[in-house]
Amino acid sequence: MPTVKLYANLRKLAGTKELSITGGTVGAVVNELVRQNPPVGEIIVEHGELRRHIIVTLNGQNITDLGTPVTEQDTLAIFPPIAGGEGEAHGWLV
């Protein structure tokens, strides 16, 4: 099964840093994660879609297409919104 790594407050909500979740695409894995962990789902999904500014990477590459296929050996990482806002702010971090 693909490995899913969670970060920031998602760890507390899921009670773990890492899980193995079944699914053949990024979207399927995310859906299964949300089904198993409703508190995580509240943070990352809204109206059945990933919330804006949720960062999902597949083996370290940013993913925007939830239809991207995943294999057993792949690692998905999910970061909660650590950036964003009402306006089209630019986003600076030190």
Partner 1 sequence: MAGWSEKVLDIDLSTQTCRTYPLDMEIARLFIGGRGLGARLLWDMVGPEVDPLSPENVLIFTNGPLTGTGYQTSNRFSVTTKSPLTGTILDANSGGFWGMQFKKAGYDVMIVRGKAEKPVWIEIRNGEISFHDASELWGMRVFALTAKLGHNNNKRNVLCIGPAGENLSRIASIMNDRERALARGGPGAVMGSKNLKAVVVEGKDRPAIDDPERFKFLLYETRKLLAASPLTSQALPEFGTVVLMNIMNNIGALATRNHQQTQFEGADAISGEELTEKYLVKNASCWACPIGCTRVSKTGKGESEGPEFESTWAFGAQCGIDDLPAIIEANTLCNDLGIDTISVGSTIACAMELSEKGYMDSDLRFGRADQLAPVIEAMAYRRDVGADLADGSLRLATKYGHPELSMTAKGLEFPAYDPRGMQGQGLLYATSNRGGCHMRGNMVGPEVLGLPKMIDRFQVQGKSSFVILHQNVSAAIDSLVLCKFTNMGVADEYFARVLSTVTGIQYDTGEMTRVGERVWNLEKLYNLREGFSRKDDTLPPRLLNEAPVDGPSQGWVVQLEPMLKEYYRGRGWDENGVPRPKKLEELQLADLLVRN
Residue 22 one-letter amino acid: T
Residue window 46-75: x/- pattern of binding to partner 1, with contact defined by CB under 8 A? -------x-x-x-xxxx-x-----------
> Rounded CA gap, 92 and 83, in Å?
9
**Residue closer to partner 1 (CB basis): 48 or 60:** 60
Q: How far is the CB of 12 from partner 1 (least distance, A)?
A: 9
To the nearest 5 percent, what fractions of the chain are helix, strand and coil? 25, 25, 50
Residue 43 one-letter amino acid: I
- Which stretches of the chain bind partner 1, using CB under 8 A? 5, 7-9, 11, 17, 53, 55, 57, 59-62, 64, 77, 79-94
